[in-house]
Structure 1
Amino acid sequence: MLPEAPALIAGNGRAALLTPDGEFLWLPAGEVTAHLDAPPLLVHAPATARRLGLPGFPGAFDLLELFAFCRPAQPCAPTPRGLAMALGFDAPRDAEAAAALLPEMATALLRHLAAGRGAPLNRDAASLAARLREAVDWPWAASVLAALGDESAVASPNGLKVWRRLPEWEDTAPPMPAASFGVEPAEARQRLAEILGEDAEQRPQQADYASAAAAAFAPRTAPGSPQMVLAEAGTGTGKTLGYIAPASLWAERNGAPVWISTYTRNLQRQIDQELARLFPDPEERRQKVVLRKGRENYLCLLNLEEATGGGHPGQVMALALAARWALATRDGDLMGGDFPGWLAELFGHHAIAPLADRRGECIHSACPHYKQCFVEHSIRRARGASIVVANHALVMVQAAFGGGEDGRPLRLVFDEGHHLFDAADSAFSAALTGAETAELRRWLLGAEGGRSRARGLRRRLEEVVGGKPDLLAPMEAALHAARSLPTAGWHARLAEPAAAENPAEAFLHQVRHQVLARSAEADAGYDSECDLHPVTETLPEAAAALERAMARLETPLKTLRTRLEALVESEGEEMETGTRIRIEAVCRSLDRRALAPLGAWIGMLRHVQGPAPEAGQRPTYIDWLSLERREGRDIDAGMHRHHLDPTVPFATVVAAPAHGLLVTSATLRDAAEGEDVEAAWHAAEARTGALHLPLPALRAAMPSPFDYAAHTRAFVVTDVRQGDAGQIAGAMRALFLASGGGALGLFTAIRRLRETHARIAPALEEAGIPLYAQHVDAMDNATLVDVFRAEEDACLLGTDAMRDGVDVPGRSLRLLVFDRVPWPRPSILHRERRTHLSEGRPKDYDDAVARHRLRQAFGRLIRRADDKGVFVVLDPRTPSRLLAGLPSGVVPQRLPLRAVAEAVRNFLAE
């Protein structure tokens, strides 16, 4: 079944080639093509070509394509080593071993497919492979058909039409009211012991943590007064299983789910993996545990159907592998779930992104695939689950709209609770920009020319409003008023005075004018911002005109929503279930997509016309204007509004309606040198909203069990000049070579990250150290972390997303390097919070942010008791007070680069 193909492994500028005759060659990049008598066998064709500086390998036998076809929805890091580990082989020790292993891995995949010929998953596999042979001359088609025993299979579209084979969800009776029985500390300890098993390592801190977390599940004693626990658990405590223990007990005892919320999709996946300890049986775990994300994260079957009907040859391969995945996936999650994130790099982001509903175009019960919809499945499963794993953004948005489709959870666990302030800041803010207002126009009016599935409000409601003048009239009025929002090509006209009939574009033009008038000359060509007040003479007039236009849009939309709700109330019993569901979904969409932003925008525009606040007065909101640019071109402008303290709406909207909350993190408190314990807890309460609740939060802190003094080292490099890209890149290169790989470089700016990557990649590759980078490699963050974890000697460059919540135990992460102190970015928003939330100590406010970021990053180094790691900051100006946030026993040393590199080499070699 195997093709007669040479096996190719790429380095940077050279390649290892194993010929079909068994001859092994090391070749410079320029000689590779001359030695290829046939398309090669390789892993990740685009990455291989990029590393060799070649245009590509047409017709290559890419093992990732074969893996995605044969073992859909199974994890695999997209490298030879990662593929070997996924298939149960020993990781290859060098390029020669990796090349020799490629045919063996291909054989293993084809044998796996052959063994499953009769499985439901492979019912249409042969006809799908035949179609790929016809449409794109897929190199693996002959091998796959041979493995399936059907070499004469006829091409058929059935393999792409997976919606025909997916299970349908069924409605069940509404969930019963939850009981209010609590969880005793001793019961939480007992459940934890059961989860861990008899042979587990005894960790007293973990048991103490579970005991403390149980207090968040005590019965609520008064409305609006949830039981709140703030629990700091040092790295290695085992906090995830520590809170799962009481959470699972409460869910079983009271017949309602506990929602566990975290900050990123990657962390959701990690928590889900930990829950396998509680529910080892996959089918039971599917029933008891549900991951919930926004609709934009899931495969939209209608989008998939329309994409398959397009017949674009370049997309057929991606669609075929997505269809195979859709039959095997656990929950249809395209972002951070079991979907292989590297498919977007193989076939282009444009081939995968349109498969999700990223623009709010869901037509709910009017969709022909509504009963198979992955989102609807997850919503219904969540209602009967024990544990729902969500993210902060979804939880806050759902709460803001009264619970939404999932209902309002009674018990919440906020893991990575140090991010609550930022998550609330994002959820409860508003942006009156060109992009936001143009998106509202598109959502209301649909596609106004060009090819798009954007149906607009009329198409979504045509079956409902037909023959009902009381619905048709406000809908038409709203659609007419929507024409005052920006039209196509608005961003190219920002510098031009707008026509009177488009007050939105006129307002954006005046915003741009004020920003440029107030910006420093050095900002020319880059993103800029300025305070709203004092306003220019022309801005209030433009704001007034836009306010009137938005009021003309808001009024009929409110009327339409009210009359739709009345229709459901009056005719609900006689109405078809699908029609009723569709109307209810439209009402929710009207609230979220139109009425909520319109209400915020109108309030903001009125503020533009009002008097300027007194200097130094503590504001409720912070308003400012911005101009966004790329490569010197204007791409957006607008006004922004954020709460001065976003934990106020968080406490009111999210926390107060709940019965109990656990907010937990390894870095909940600031660890400033000399600060007393009470002050540290007070700051934690301020940043989590606990100060705005009636009952005081219960506090708990468990130290890390790790011996940081013995297993870590920390250095500040004293002779690297900040601002010199060459010196920073040179320092990174020297340190990465000293550690032999396994290094994570963290940057505070994307530009410096890209410059460093370009400068150091060749030298590292020459030393056999692969280098990956966020914002350079076209992989999502989760896939990059998977690669970094699998490739033990690889290095990774990243920004904030790689600093928090990345779990890479063992030697794969043994060195962490900051390019400079991660101070908060100077902005109007930060300036106002620094002034009004710092309790008169603005410098301490900045210090706390930077200290927390350093502490979070340090926590990535040691994930197990036997890990070793080195922490380095390439900024000689690093204040000692910031390093006070590092764990007890870690004493940072200030040394020149050469001495630090030698210390890294010696310490990691011990």
Structure 2
Amino acid sequence: MPTPSRASPYDAPALISTRARASILTPDGEILSLEAQEATSLLATLPAPLLIHGPATIRRLGLTPPGQVVPWFDLLELFLFLFPTRAVVPTPRGMGLALGLTPPEHCEADFLLLLLEKLRQALDSMVTSREVETLRSLLPLLSRAGWAWASFVEDALEAHPSQHRHPYEALRVWRRLPRWEEMAQRPPPGSRPVAPAEARARLTRILGEGAETRPGQADYASAVTQALAPREGAGIPEIVLAEAGTGTGKTLGYIAPASVWAEQNDGPVWVSTYTRHLQRQIEQELRRLYPDDAERREAVVLRKGRENYLCLLNMEDAVNTLASRPSPSPAALIGLSMLARWAEATEDGDLMGGDLPGWFGDIFGGSVLFGMADRRGECIHGACPHYQTCFVEHSIRRARGARLVIANHALVLSQASWSSLARDDVPDEDQLPTRYFFDEGHHLPEAADSAFSLALSGLEAAELRRWLLGAEGSRSRARGLRRRLEDLVATSPVLDAPLEAILGAAHALPAPGWLGRLNGEDNAPQPSVPDLIANPSEQFFQALRAQLEARRIGTQGQDSSECGLHPAGEALREATEPLDTALRRLLNPLQTLVERLKSLLSEPDDALEAAQRLRIEAMIRSLRRRAIARVEGWIAMLDTVLSEEDSPEGSFIDLIRTEYVSGRQGETDIGLHRHWRDPTIPFASVMQGPAHGMLITSATLRDQTPVSGPNAPDPRQVEQSWLAAEMRLGTPHFIKPPFRASLLSPFDYAHQTRALIVTDVPQNDLDALAGAYRLLFLASQGGALGLFTAISRLRAVHQRIAAPLEEAGLPLYAQHVDTMDNATLVDIFRTELHSCLLGTDAMRDGVDVPGQALRLVVFERTPWPRPDILHRERRRALSPDDPRDYDDRLTRMRLRQAFGRLIRKGDDRGVFVILDRRMPSRLLSAFPEGVAVERVSLAEAVRQIGAFLPADPAAMLPGPDM
């Protein structure tokens, strides 16, 4: 192991850099402002610098980090060690705000010394805190790994030798986490309705005195109460479609009646949104309702799928693996130590969008987090030694007693789907709520498409094999079915025969090395002994690829390619029969194993311990979800290939698709994919049973209705827009028609915004496109969001404009370029006064940046729907008389979503620009009434932006206390 450095951060040069310039405070106290190349030369002669976000800083200067273990003093690392769950934007200004400082508009390198001193004061104050022993226990490992801050922290804490007998004991946080205990089942909730007056009163209480008046917010809260009325009959939920224009305040508008209903009926309301980032936004809003942390933790629970949480068993494996090595990786040791520090402090163990910083993987290496969550369905539930400290089990049990559960569409639909298929013999682990509020409701069709689609691909089939057989000799920690069942088999030999049959049949699935063989690599590994005979699944995927190559339209090298399945070629049909037989051979023992596990549950109650009973129930659920349902679906798809059952009016769309495999450059997976032609059919099917009431709300439920008179929309067009929205959202599949509500945005868009279509930027000229972005971003002095319909164009523009923008003092960040999650990028954009951000769909729908931090939105081209097979078939099914109108409606809604990012407060001002001269005038009704859209040259657009936006945007930005 390396000898830890005793260098002091006070003697290090301080460094803040962009791609163009760097501010350096030299060890002798001189502040230098240098061009990037000069800074690079100077840094080569100086000690390791003091900085924020080392990897990003070094990348901006084009440097390769030295070979030493920790080549810098990164203030983010020290901040995380001291405040592992406190949010901090990874910039000098962001850290200043997190530490209660008022940063200057332009931070120079000497500001880092203020941050260092503030952190040193915090460290000194921890000497008497309860956390000091945790900090001290981690220091020996961090010092051994050569962590730059080790001696600095040791000196401040007067650290003593660790009290732990084993040097790695400090990483074994699972031994120190609180344990949950089972509680009595919650009685069913009541059905008392919420009166509109009650909702309005609760909203007034939440807002408090002096709150910004939002016209329509109270009316919206009143309308939402209809979704909380008692339902009239089984399978007939009350449904409310509520369109609330941007600025209405819909989050608190629906939280008010929801919280009243939850308290009066002793039951939860599940609030579902589209992304993890939006879940956190809603959770933050609930601080207004529950300002007390303890009450909020009891009343509000944020739920996600298991794959989002830290798995303590996986962490134990990682710690034990590291401890077993004679010379463990210093970087891994530092990363695991930091993860342990966070795990002991986190409230919910959420790795993805929770209180673990989004920059963690960039600072400490993505490999530290890889495999820490159960993304492969390996959970052994009650057999896990950490079952009663498990973060996921904690959240499930907390949700059972909560008033408000903040979930996402994927989890809600998955939960409802599995519960609709659950048998009485094995109850589902979640108790289904009766009231659902779907925020960002315009995304429900996409979420339903994802939830109810099925793929028989190489990756999916190989993943099932790995789930059944385990790692098969690799260094993976994957646990196979035998290992998960070994103790049950030992006490119940009746399970052994179907288990052996399953493991034997699983060899028909793609064997290790399948991807290389599929892609024709000369050095691809050959199958092991059990797989020497022809593998039916690999032959099937080869046949799929051959049919795709014969029928594809387009050139090689695109992100993915696809073709329709039907009519299936003779070679594909011949390859399908052996795989169909093999899958049936796998399905039968899987079903037998489940039946024999169920028979164990039928034994007298005193024959099984409660934990063992729960563990068997969990295994049955896992077998049904991970294996049986999947194999049954695959067999149904193969039956379609063999029977050639296909018609334009059928329920499903079957297609062949290739997709690039993450981390495997140039290699593609191949699969047979099945989608519902109308995914809202299964959505309605699984929701109409448990749901007594549903709210579907968004700022863009409907296509914008053109105005026929001075201020009065044509009633026929209004009705048509509602009918189209209902068709898209699937409400005609429910028995009772929805209650409709529409609240207009309170903003004066005619005075607060400008909308411009630039007519002289060539469509396919990347240099011209990049030049346009550069000029527009300079005109707005930053605060600009650039939206793209293709990742490749985003990256190309970023490459061309990053340096010139940063030379002008406008930092540029980009989704798919910067190695931080979207939430962190948005936080940086919101915090940095003159920054710019490039993004794709997720940024179009998920950015909430009030104030002048966002004052310009630039769309590179008209966001038409992707012209793929799914779109073709759904357009044919949902709009057979006018397919072009279907395309236009979707495009106008995307434009409305993008425009909605611009104005979030009553005093915001902003400009919306589209760099597409071909955008048709019929789409302009997407913009709010009063917004005059002008077609102008690029030069005129630059002039108007400079004239319309405030000369000093910083004066209108929120301060550190807002």
Matched, 1:83 2:95: yes
Structure 1 counterpart of 2:649, from 609, 614, 618: 618
**1:399-440 deviation line (CA, Å, top 9, x unaligned):** 111074221111000000000000000000001100000000
**Cα offset, 1:140, TM superposition:** 0.9
The corresponding residue for 2:81 is 69
Matched, 1:319 2:336: yes
The corresponding residue for 2:250 is 239
Contact 1:29-1:54 at 8 Å conserved across structures: no
The corresponding residue for 2:116 is 106
The corresponding residue for 2:38 is 31
Partner of 1:477, secondary structure, is helix
TM-score if structure 1 supplies the norm length?
Answer: 0.97
Matched, 1:424 2:435: no
**Cα offset, 1:300, TM superposition:** 1.1
Q: Distance in 2 between matches of 1:151 and 1:541?
A: 71
Q: Distance in 2 between matches of 1:29 and 1:605?
A: 59
Contact 2:214-2:247 at 8 Å conserved across structures: no
Partner of 1:103, secondary structure, is helix
Partner of 1:284, secondary structure, is helix
Partner of 1:3, secondary structure, is helix
The letter of the residue matching 1:395 is V
Matched, 1:366 2:366: no
Matches within 5 A, 1:112-261: 112-135=122-145, 137-150=146-159, 156-261=167-272
The corresponding residue for 1:343 is 360
Matched, 1:813 2:837: no
The letter of the residue matching 1:759 is R
Partner of 2:582, secondary structure, is helix
**1:441-490 deviation line (CA, Å, top 9, x unaligned):** 00001011111221111100111122423211111111111110001111
Matches within 5 A, 1:29-68: 29-32=36-39, 33-35=41-43, 36-56=45-65, 58-68=70-80
Higher deviation after alignment, 304-313 or 171-180:
304-313
The letter of the residue matching 1:93 is E
Partner of 1:673, secondary structure, is coil
Contact 1:817-1:872 at 8 Å conserved across structures: yes
**1:357-409 deviation line (CA, Å, top 9, x unaligned):** 12111111222211111101000000000000000000000111107422111
Q: Distance in 2 between matches of 1:242 and 1:760?
A: 41
Q: Distance in 1 between matches of 2:77 and 2:172?
A: 20
The letter of the residue matching 1:782 is A
Partner of 1:909, secondary structure, is coil
The corresponding residue for 1:865 is 906
The corresponding residue for 1:765 is 806
Contact 1:185-1:211 at 8 Å conserved across structures: yes
Contact 2:199-2:221 at 8 Å conserved across structures: yes
Q: Distance in 1 between matches of 2:867 and 2:532?
A: 36
Partner of 2:596, secondary structure, is helix
Matched, 1:724 2:771: no
**Cα offset, 1:30, TM superposition:** 3.4
**1:712-764 deviation line (CA, Å, top 9, x unaligned):** 11111000110111111111111011111111111111111110010000100
Q: Distance in 1 between matches of 2:404 and 2:580?
A: 44
Contact 2:85-2:342 at 8 Å conserved across structures: yes
Q: Provide closer, same or farther for how the CA distance between residues 378 and 570 of structure 1 changes in structure 2, counting only shifts above 3 A.
A: same
The corresponding residue for 2:712 is none
**Cα offset, 1:571, TM superposition:** 4.0
Contact 2:31-2:110 at 8 Å conserved across structures: no
Q: Provide closer, same or farther for how the CA distance between residues 158 and 633 of structure 1 changes in structure 2, counting only shifts above 3 A.
A: closer
**1:38-96 deviation line (CA, Å, top 9, x unaligned):** 21110011111011111126531100000000111000111111111111111232242
Q: Distance in 1 between matches of 2:813 and 2:582?
A: 49
Contact 1:237-1:705 at 8 Å conserved across structures: yes
**Cα offset, 1:886, TM superposition:** 1.1
**Cα offset, 1:691, TM superposition:** 0.7
Q: Distance in 1 between matches of 2:667 and 2:95?
A: 44
**Cα offset, 1:612, TM superposition:** 4.9
Matches within 5 A, 1:358-507: 358-402=375-419, 404-494=428-518, 501-507=534-540
**Cα offset, 1:495, TM superposition:** 5.6
The corresponding residue for 1:333 is 350
Higher deviation after alignment, 500-509 or 642-651:
500-509
**1:331-381 deviation line (CA, Å, top 9, x unaligned):** 110111111110111122112222211211111122221111110100000
Q: Distance in 2 between matches of 1:878 and 1:654?
A: 39
Partner of 1:807, secondary structure, is coil
Q: Distance in 1 between matches of 2:596 and 2:33?
A: 74
Matched, 1:537 2:554: no
Partner of 2:852, secondary structure, is helix
The letter of the residue matching 1:706 is F
- Which structure 1 segments of 5+ residues have no match? none
The letter of the residue matching 1:567 is L
Matched, 1:267 2:278: yes
Contact 1:216-1:662 at 8 Å conserved across structures: yes
Provide the identity percentage. Answer: 56
Matches within 5 A, 1:601-680: 601-614=634-647, 617-629=648-660, 633-673=666-706, 676-680=717-721
**Cα offset, 1:696, TM superposition:** 0.8
Q: Distance in 1 between matches of 2:775 and 2:743?
A: 37
The corresponding residue for 2:958 is none
The corresponding residue for 2:22 is 15
- Which structure 2 segments of 5+ residues have no match? 1-7, 323-328, 421-427, 522-530, 708-715, 952-962
Q: Provide closer, same or farther for how the CA distance between residues 325 and 570 of structure 1 changes in structure 2, counting only shifts above 3 A.
A: same
The letter of the residue matching 1:602 is I
Higher deviation after alignment, 716-725 or 318-327:
318-327
Structure 2 counterpart of 1:893, from 934, 947, 950: 934
- RMSD across aligned C-alpha pairs, in angstroms? 1.8
Q: Distance in 1 between matches of 2:375 and 2:555?
A: 36
Q: Distance in 2 between matches of 1:518 and 1:803?
A: 34
Contact 1:169-1:377 at 8 Å conserved across structures: yes
Matched, 1:823 2:864: yes
**Cα offset, 1:110, TM superposition:** 2.2
**Cα offset, 1:158, TM superposition:** 3.3
Contact 1:130-1:154 at 8 Å conserved across structures: no
Higher deviation after alignment, 506-515 or 5-14:
5-14
Contact 1:543-1:608 at 8 Å conserved across structures: yes
Higher deviation after alignment, 138-147 or 813-822:
138-147
The corresponding residue for 2:834 is 793
Partner of 2:475, secondary structure, is coil
Higher deviation after alignment, 846-855 or 198-207:
198-207
The corresponding residue for 1:905 is 946
Q: Distance in 2 between matches of 1:153 and 1:483?
A: 49
Contact 2:9-2:73 at 8 Å conserved across structures: no
**Cα offset, 1:592, TM superposition:** 1.2
**1:281-307 deviation line (CA, Å, top 9, x unaligned):** 011111110000011100111222222
Q: Provide closer, same or farther for how the CA distance between residues 331 and 103 of structure 1 changes in structure 2, counting only shifts above 3 A.
A: same
Q: Distance in 2 between matches of 1:368 and 1:323?
A: 18
The letter of the residue matching 1:369 is H
The corresponding residue for 2:713 is none
Q: Provide closer, same or farther for how the CA distance between residues 632 and 537 of structure 1 changes in structure 2, counting only shifts above 3 A.
A: farther
